[in-house]
């Protein structure tokens, strides 16, 4: 019994340092996020309306960072999966598991803002536009990954399966993107206005860049906080297991 207890403590040595470090970093990161997002939103509000799309173009300032993060988070998870499979780093699967719901949330926001942006152009909330359709498939893959994490109670057992799935997904994403583009042009020759197709004016580019960095910092903040939660959740779990194996006095 005592042996098992010390084992667990050694296993958590690395995460313990991580918890201490992030406790100091997190407030600064959150502050920087708030400041950048505030500046970005202010600049976005000042940016001129588009001569074609009017004020709706400003949805772009939310949509594009979310779309960027939907892919960036999968990249982070892929790196973490390599960490799980190749280097067996104890924090890798914590990072991968914590990132999945956040990535799904950003992807969902990209879908919603994309559909709101397209509404005046299309006249409907949803059009099977090549870009949005690819994002939708990415969203399904995120949900599948979350379902996989939830299907197995023991996180270390789920980690390897999730890591394999994440890497396969990373390899497949370009293929899916290409197929969807091909499918889309096959069915409708390019006639509708495509989003973000035209070159961007400087007055758009700078706020967009600020927003993108702000959202990336937001992701980092949320991710670190979620990793802390996951580490604590696993500690609770191992404490519970120790308590269960204790015989009643």
Partner 1 sequence: MSALAALIRRDIRIALRVGGGALIGVLFFLTVVVLMPFAVGPDLALLTRLGPAILWLGALLASLLTLDRLFMADQEDGSLDLITMSRTPLELACAAKALAHWLAAGVPLIVATPVLGLLLNLDMLATAAVALTLLAGTPALTFTGMIGAALAVTLHRGGLLMAVLVLPLSIPVLIFGVAASQAAITGPLSFGAPFSILCALSLVSFVIGPLAAAASLRHGLD
Partner 2 sequence: MRLSGRGINCVRGGRAVFAGLNFEAVSGEALAVTGRNGSGKTSLLRLIAGLLVPAGGSIELEGGEAEMTLAEQCHYLGHRDALKPALSVGENLSFWAGFLGGERFDASEGLSAVGLDHATHLPAAFLSAGQRRRLSVARLLTVRRPVWLLDEPTTALDTAGQDMFARLMRDHLASGGLIIAATHAPLGIESRELRIGGIA
* Contact residues for partner 1, defined by CB under 8 A: 115, 124-128, 133, 136-137, 140, 143-144, 147, 150-153, 183-184, 187-188
| DSSP assignments along the chain, one per residue | -HHHHHHHHHHTHHHHHHHHHHHHHHHHHHHHHHHHHHHHHHHHHHSPPBTTTBGGGGGHHHHHHHHHHHHHHHHHHHHHHHIIIII--TTHHHHHHHHHHHHHHHHHHHHHHHHHHHHHHHSSS----HHHHHHHHHHHHHHHHHHHHHH-SSHHHHHHHHHHHHHHHHHHHHHHHHHHHHHHHHHS-S-SPPTT-SPPPHHHHHHHHHHHHHHHHHHHHHHHHHHHHHHHHHHHHHHHHHHHHSPP-
Q: Answer yes or no whether residue 124 interacts with partner 2 by CB under 8 A.
A: no
Q: Looking at beta carbons only, is 16 or 185 nearer to partner 1?
A: 185
> Which one of the spans 48-56, 98-106, 125-133, 240-248 is the region binding partner 2 (CB under 8 A)?
240-248
Please check whether residue 58 is in contact with residue 150, taking contact to mean a CB–CB distance below 8 angstroms: no
* Matching residue, tokens 């989003």: 195
Of partner 2, partner 1, none, which one does residue 137 interact with (CB within 5 to 8 Å by kind)?
partner 1
> Which one of the spans 62-70, 83-91, 182-190, 235-243 is the region binding partner 2 (CB under 8 A)?
235-243
Q: Answer yes or no whether residue 3 interacts with partner 2 by CB under 8 A.
A: no
Q: Answer yes or no whether residue 1 interacts with partner 2 by CB under 8 A.
A: no
Q: Looking at beta carbons only, is 123 or 153 nearer to partner 2?
A: 153
Of partner 1, partner 2, none, which one does residue 245 interact with (CB within 5 to 8 Å by kind)?
partner 2
Minimum Å gap between C-beta 155 and partner 2 is 13
Please check whether residue 80 is in contact with residue 95, taking contact to mean a CB–CB distance below 8 angstroms: yes
Of partner 2, partner 1, none, which one does residue 140 interact with (CB within 5 to 8 Å by kind)?
partner 1
> Which one of the spans 46-54, 108-116, 176-184, 238-246 is the region binding partner 2 (CB under 8 A)?
238-246
Max Cα distance, the chain (Å) = 78
Q: What are phi and psi of 99, to 5 degrees?
A: -75, -30
Q: Answer yes or no whether residue 244 interacts with partner 2 by CB under 8 A.
A: yes
CA atoms within 13 A of residue 76's CA, in its CB half-sphere: 23
Minimum Å gap between C-beta 106 and partner 1 is 18
Q: Kindly tell me which residue out of 153, 171, 191, 202 binds partner 2, with binding defined by CB under 8 A.
A: 153
Q: Answer yes or no whether residue 24 interacts with partner 2 by CB under 8 A.
A: no
Q: How many residues bind partner 2 (CB under 8 A)?
A: 9
Of partner 1, partner 2, none, which one does residue 78 interact with (CB within 5 to 8 Å by kind)?
none
Contacts with partner 2 by CB under 8 A lie at 153, 240-241, 243-248
């Amino acid at each position: 019994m005592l042996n098992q207890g010390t084992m667990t403590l050694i296993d958590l040595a690395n995460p313990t340092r991580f918890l201490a470090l992030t406790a100091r970093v997190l407030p600064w990161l959150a502050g920087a996020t708030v400041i950048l997002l505030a500046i970005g939103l202010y600049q976005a509000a000042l940016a001129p309306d588009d001569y074609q799309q009017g004020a709706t173009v400003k949805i772009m300032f939310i949509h594009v960072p979310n779309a960027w993060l939907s892919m960036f988070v999968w990249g982070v998870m892929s790196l973490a999966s390599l960490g799980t499979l190749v280097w067996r780093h104890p924090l890798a699967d914590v990072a991968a598991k914590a990132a999945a719901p956040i990535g799904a949330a950003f992807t969902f926001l990209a879908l919603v803002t994309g559909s709101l942006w397209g509404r005046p152009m299309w006249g409907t909330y949803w059009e099977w536009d090549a870009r949005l359709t690819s994002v939708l498939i990415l969203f399904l893959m995120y949900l599948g990954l979350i379902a996989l994490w939830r299907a197995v109670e023991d996180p270390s057992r789920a980690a390897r399966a999730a890591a394999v799935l994440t890497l396969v997904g990373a390899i497949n994403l370009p293929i899916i993107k290409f197929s969807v583009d091909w499918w889309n042009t096959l069915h409708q020759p390019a006639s509708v206005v495509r989003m973000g197709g035209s070159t961007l004016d400087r007055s758009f580019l700078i706020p967009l860049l600020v927003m993108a960095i702000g959202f990336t910092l937001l992701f980092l903040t949320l991710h670190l906080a979620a990793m802390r939660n996951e580490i604590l959740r696993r500690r609770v779990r191992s404490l519970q297991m120790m308590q269960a194996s204790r015989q009643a006095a």
